[in-house]
Structure 1
Amino acid sequence: MASAKYFASQPAFPNDLQPVAQIATVSLAKLVARDTGEAEAVLHACRTLGFFLLDLTGDPVGESLIAEVDAVFDVVRQTMKLSVDEKNKFAQDPPRDFRGYKAQGIMKTETGAPDRCEFYNVSQDDLLGQSSAPRTNPDPIAAHTQLLRSYLEHGQFALTHILRALATQLELLPDTFRDLQAPNRASGTIMRLIRYAPSLTSADMRTGLLPHTDFGSVTLLANVLGGLQVLLPHSAPEDENSWQWVRPQPGCLIVNMGDAMVEWTGGVLRSNMHRVNYAPGDQRYIDRYAIAMLVRPYKEAPMSRLKGGRIPTVEDDKCEGVEIANDNANSVGNLTAYEWELTKAMSLKEGSDCARSRGGRQLKPKQVAVLC
């Protein structure tokens, strides 16, 4: 997340706002040091709410990332201040190409109303120089390619330690999740530069982005103003009392699990519904900027359930009486990650996405060595 200095330059998150989600904070420095307790905290957070705050302070790479968040926010601001005509020169062309600019109002919210956000997707493959057809970007992005590449690489560093903590806690090989989304393989991983319009009237005080789950594997989010809300586990999205505000914290990224992690773990990890509402208090009167690193598997990655460790088997599904991770257990595992993501992305764009919170099922017990 941005620095404390950047937070101080923005209207404050209201102290009396309710309800505010109770989200665990995990230290990147402790994950890098392979602290077992911190790894257990990651697994617990990813099985319950599906969200946690990643404290970047105290780690050299994390400290660099904090400074880069401040700098990238300026890139977001410069990009979104371009004229609509200029931004539309770089418009997305889905489903052929999801890179580039999406104008406000193209997507729908849960009520059928137009969304209230605009964003620009920058491809990881483009930034790392491994795309056969790199995208041309507007001047503010083109001029800061090195900054965006560094941000991405530092984000991948943090992601590596999150993924290794989860794999070891699930008694899988340490790089199991890392290998499924290795940054040197072609993927749909993007940096999304986002602007939400201010809520200047009562009519603007509504959902800006419909309730959804992320269809990738992991999201690393940086934002300063409130607006993000998470759904309480085991609650219906129609129940307004079950939506809780997420309070951003200086020096912390907001991390959440995506649908791919649910698929691979047979429903152990949780992909929780969330939405973006209007910013609370005086924050609603200004532009809300965010940077989302949306991590996705490499394009040919199988979406089938992993085997071994503490992940339930298919046989366990028959007797546990809980919802299976797969919406269509006979077909999802046969899809590549690219095919699977394409279907989900188009549903979200059309406002017909029927995503729901999934995961959080019981683990297999830890293996205990028996001495003979």
Structure 2
Amino acid sequence: MTDSKTEIAVVSLAQPLETIADDLGRSFEEYGFAVIRDHGIPQELIDRAEALSKAFFALPEEAKRAYHIPGGGGARGYTPFGTEKAKDAKVHDLKEFWHVGRELPEGHPLAQYMADNVWPSEVEGFRETFSELYAAFEAAGARVLEGIALHLGLDRDYFAATVKDGNSVMRLLRYPPLEGAEAEGAIRAAAHGDINTITLLLGAEEAGLELLTAQGEWKAVAPPEGALVVNIGDMLDRLTNNKLRSTTHRVVNPRGEAAYRARYSMPFFLHFRPDYVIETLPSCIDPERPEHHPEPISSHDFLLQRLREINLV
């Protein structure tokens, strides 16, 4: 646990969830972020995935673009540099990425919501490694959601059914190196909030991730090596009536030598099931916190609404 009640929580998932749930929840209420140690994703798997991610992004541009799916909203495969932009941003983010999604058996009732994955033939072991990492991310996310449920006074398994076969997406992300004097402090990903339920991020040890506090100040998020940064997405913010905050965050280029090299990370955007209806939890409504979102909306419709706003559909 954290030593201070005024900082972003750093908690160990190896501890009984009952002992960390409120520290975790307090951090999500104050900052929308927490840092997770002992998350169960093997370091060997992380190292292997990082190496394969770099190998893919090192491919020639024409090879990568062969895996771009026009009209696919970036849901699977490759999205080129300069495509996505934050909501209301005037310029595109300085990044390229690859998406791996859930694979459902033919005939599954939710299969219509999820495109097939594509896999680069040029990188040996890519499919096997990232399928394994996807499953490991999902297991870690399920445990975080149990802690959140306990903090909210719900049954610890409350969220299990809401995310079963959800449209979760793993992103392999590369911010290319920048050049010139303006590189230091440049904005690589503009201020934004995440769309989904919770996000789990590997690779935030490299300086640059910042969140916007309730006081309007940018605060650096600096996890220990190998830890996960976890943040609340807009869907869970809406479900909890803004009790758990989907906090605006950005990625800025650090100062010094790190400003001139590429940055890599791997976020996992954990989603509700497409047919799950987001309707404010009654326990999160009271006289001091009236209901902000009285109209229910399916997670699929919410996702499409937001993808349009960030230029992906």
Change (3 A) 1:350 1:71: closer
1:23 equivalent to 2:8? Answer: yes
1:276 CA drift (Å): 1.1
1:97 CA drift (Å): 5.8
1:344 equivalent to 2:312? Answer: no
Secondary structure at 2:228 match in 1: strand
1:231 matched to which residue of 2?
212
2:77 matched to which residue of 1?
100
Question: Whole-Å Cα distance in 2 between the matches of residues 124 and 78 of structure 1?
Answer: 23
TM-score when scaled to structure 1?
A: 0.74
Q: In structure 2, which of residues 118, 142, 153 is the aligned counterpart of residue 160 of structure 1?
A: 142
1:270 matched to which residue of 2?
245
How large is the Cα RMSD of the aligned pairs?
2.7
| 1:271-319 deviation line (CA, Å, top 9, x unaligned) | 1000111133321121100001111111101011123xxx233xx3xx4
Structure index of larger Rg: 1
1:323 CA drift (Å): 7.8
1:291 matched to which residue of 2?
266
Question: Whole-Å Cα distance in 2 between the matches of residues 270 and 111 of structure 1?
Answer: 21
- Aligned residue type for 1:284: A
| 1:182-218 deviation line (CA, Å, top 9, x unaligned) | 1xx2x32111000001122133342111211111001
Question: Whole-Å Cα distance in 2 between the matches of residues 192 and 144 of structure 1?
Answer: 13
Question: Whole-Å Cα distance in 1 between the matches of residues 69 and 302 of structure 2?
Answer: 19
1:113 matched to which residue of 2?
91
Counterparts of 1:217-256 in structure 2 under 5 Å? 217-223=197-203, 224-235=205-216, 242-256=217-231
Question: Whole-Å Cα distance in 2 between the matches of residues 26 and 244 of structure 1?
Answer: 19
| 1:8-51 deviation line (CA, Å, top 9, x unaligned) | xxxxxxxxxxxxx9422010101xx33x2311111111111011
Contact 2:280 2:291 in 1 (8 A): no
Question: Whole-Å Cα distance in 1 between the matches of residues 149 and 119 of structure 2?
Answer: 36
Contact 1:265 1:306 in 2 (8 A): yes
Contact 2:278 2:298 in 1 (8 A): yes
Contact 1:50 1:270 in 2 (8 A): yes
Contact 1:226 1:248 in 2 (8 A): no
Q: In structure 1, which of residues 197, 210, 221 is the aligned counterpart of residue 190 of structure 2?
A: 210
The structure carrying a bigger strand percent of its residues is 2
2:3 matched to which residue of 1?
none
- Aligned residue type for 2:198: V
TM-score when scaled to structure 2?
A: 0.87
Secondary structure at 1:162 match in 2: helix
Counterparts of 1:313-324 in structure 2 under 5 Å? 313=285, 316=286, 319-320=287-288
Counterparts of 1:321-332 in structure 2 under 5 Å? 325-326=292-293, 329-330=294-295
- Aligned residue type for 1:173: D
1:146 equivalent to 2:128? Answer: yes
Question: Whole-Å Cα distance in 1 between the matches of residues 157 and 182 of structure 2?
Answer: 48
1:134 matched to which residue of 2?
116
2:102 matched to which residue of 1?
124
Change (3 A) 1:179 1:135: same
Question: Whole-Å Cα distance in 1 between the matches of residues 12 and 67 of structure 2?
Answer: 38
Question: Whole-Å Cα distance in 2 between the matches of residues 306 and 245 of structure 1?
Answer: 31
1:173 matched to which residue of 2?
155
1:369 matched to which residue of 2?
none
Contact 1:95 1:342 in 2 (8 A): no
Q: In structure 2, which of residues 61, 64, 71 is the aligned counterpart of residue 87 of structure 1?
A: 64
Question: Whole-Å Cα distance in 1 between the matches of residues 84 and 73 of structure 2?
Answer: 17
Instruction: Return 5+ residue gaps in structure 1 as ranges.
Output: 1-20, 236-241, 352-372
| 1:95-148 deviation line (CA, Å, top 9, x unaligned) | 566212111112346662332100011112269x97576232212567322221
Number of residue-to-residue matches in the alignment = 301
1:261 matched to which residue of 2?
236
Change (3 A) 1:312 1:195: same
Contact 1:75 1:140 in 2 (8 A): no
1:350 CA drift (Å): 7.0
Secondary structure at 1:299 match in 2: coil
1:48 matched to which residue of 2?
30
Question: Whole-Å Cα distance in 2 between the matches of residues 281 and 140 of structure 1?
Answer: 34
Change (3 A) 1:166 1:98: same
